[in-house]
């Protein structure tokens, strides 16, 4: 019995082609389902959570960024700051006043206080209301700064 090398090679190649095609089709279908699942999850997350970037500037050149932080939709800047940092604060009739962030306290003798800013229109704008009253928006950029005021 004579073995035809070309016939065996062709059969092996055909089997390989069928297996590779089947594998590719399965991979493609799985990746499409995965992409749809990711899009659905992102839609669900955007309904219940937002992403913010918050910086803490300690007034000495040190700035710590908390980028791409997910927080519940409807949270105030105060809530987000409590989640990210160790803070001390006082409660007044007009709202909550933060006195220390991550162990760095205000210094009234030097006129240094924790003030917050939001990045808008390519510039840092002074926070218009108290941090406990300011509701964060998706993709917002906020900075707490120990600064002279």
CA-wise closest residue to 129 among 139, 142, 138, 146: 142
| Residues β-bridged to residue 144 | 56, 116
38: confidence class by pLDDT, cuts 50, 70, 90? confident
Threshold 0.95, pTM exceeds? no
The tokens for 52 are 């913010």
- Whether the predicted pLDDT of 40 surpasses 80: no
Domain ranges, ordered by start, for the chain: 49-148
- The residue ranking higher by pLDDT, 16 or 146, is 146
Q: How many CB atoms lie within 10 A of CB 101?
A: 23
- pLDDT tens-place string over residues 54-103: 999 999 999 999 999 999 999 999 999 999 999 999 999 989 999 999 99
CATH fold of 49-148? Ferric Hydroxamate Uptake Protein; Chain A, domain 1 (2.170.130)
Alpha helix ranges (H) inside 49-107: 77-84
Cα distances (angstroms) measured from residue 82 to each of 79, 120, 142:
5, 23, 14
What pLDDT shows up at residue 143?
Answer: 98
Residue 25: pLDDT band (50, 70, 90) is confident
Strands 63-72 and 49-57: antiparallel
**62 SS3 class:** coil
Query: Once rounded to an integer, what is the mean pLDDT over residues 19-31?
Result: 85
């Amino acid at each position: 019995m004579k073995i035809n090398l070309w016939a065996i090679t062709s059969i092996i190649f055909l089997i390989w082609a069928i297996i590779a095609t089947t594998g590719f089709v399965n991979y493609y279908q799985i990746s499409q389902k995965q992409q749809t699942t990711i899009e659905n999850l992102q839609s669900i997350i955007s309904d219940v959570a937002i992403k913010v970037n918050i910086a803490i500037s300690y007034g000495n050149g040190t700035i710590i960024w908390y980028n791409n932080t997910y927080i519940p939709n409807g949270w105030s800047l105060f809530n987000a700051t409590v989640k990210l940092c160790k803070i001390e604060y006082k409660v007044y009739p007009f709202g909550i006043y933060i006195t220390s962030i991550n162990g760095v306290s205000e210094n009234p003798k030097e006129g240094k206080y924790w003030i917050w800013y939001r990045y808008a229109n390519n510039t840092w704008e002074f926070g218009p209301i108290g941090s406990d009253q300011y509701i964060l928006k998706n993709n917002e950029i906020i900075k707490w700064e120990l600064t002279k005021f």
